[in-house]
A and B are shown apart, each in its own frame.
Chain A
Amino acid sequence: SQKIEQNSEALNIQEGKTATLTCNYTNYSPAYLQWYRQDPGRGPVFLLLIRENEKEKRKERLKVTFDTTLKQSLFHITASQPADSATYLCALDMSDYKLSFGAGTTVTVRA
């Protein structure tokens, strides 16, 4: 069966450090992979999209990598700030008509 696993339900880091989140998937061959941020009681907010032929994508302090051989994406938040505290969702873009989400990793950045 198809699975999307985000390692670590929770990640606690010190302000200024880099947070690294992992998304692994099995029995999928997604053409695209997306990352979203979700705050409590709110809808997901788009952060980054990476294509299968791209190795790395950056946006400000965010970086995502996509390794289709390992079936893994890494999401990095550099120089983390308390405002980065949220749940981060990995989403696989499989078909024309849906995203499949992982369970998310909750990041808490301590001041």
Chain B
Amino acid sequence: EPEVTQTPSHQVTQMGQEVILRCVPISNHLYFYWYRQILGQKVEFLVSFYNNEISEKSEIFDDQFSVERPDGSNFTLKIRSTKLEDSAMYFCASSTSGQGVSYSFGPGTRLLVL
């Protein structure tokens, strides 16, 4: 069964550094998402992406965040200048449609900002 993959599985960075988290969604999916989960807290929506543009974004997704689909398979999340509070598990997800369908989540990237 096809799966969403994410790299790296773990990333440690210094505050103020840029990080890029990578995802390969399921190939026939059209909608892509990033979520994050701070340790012990709920899964929070960051951004959705469809037809090569952002469809919706949360208040968390400020100017420090950006997403890109640089080619036909990868979907990336960039954090320009990381803060301590960006430490979290970041999940990529994809779906065939925008509503009323299941999401397939990746295994996550654990980001630690020191």
Residues of A within 8 A of B (CB): 31-32, 34, 36, 38, 41-46, 49, 51, 89, 93, 95-104
User: In chain B between 5 and 51, which residues have their CB closer than 8 angstroms to a CB of chain A?
Assistant: 31, 33, 41-45, 48, 50
B43 touches A89 (CB 8 A): yes
Interface of A is mostly: strand
- Beyond the given A43-B4, A95-B56, A96-B56, please list 20 additional residue pairs across the A-B interface where CB-CB is below 8 A: A32-B100, A34-B102, A38-B43, A41-B110, A42-B108, A43-B105, A43-B107, A44-B43, A44-B91, A44-B105, A46-B102, A46-B103, A49-B100, A49-B102, A51-B100, A95-B99, A96-B99, A97-B99, A100-B45, A101-B43
A49 close to B99 (CB less than 8 A): no
Beyond A43-B91, A49-B100, A101-B42, whether A96 also contacts B106 by CB under 8 A is no
Binding site for A on B (CB under 8 A): 4, 31, 33, 41-45, 48, 50, 55-56, 89, 91, 93, 98-108, 110
Residues of A within 8 A of B89 (CB): 41
Chain A contacts of B103 at CB under 8 A?
34, 44, 46, 99
B100 and A98: CB pair below 8 A? no
Residues of A with C-beta under 8 A to B107 = 42-43
Q: Which residues of B contact A104 (CB under 8 A)?
A: 42
Bound-state Cα–Cα, A101 to B101, Å: 15
Contact A45 B105, CB 8 Å, known A89-B43, A96-B98, A98-B45: yes
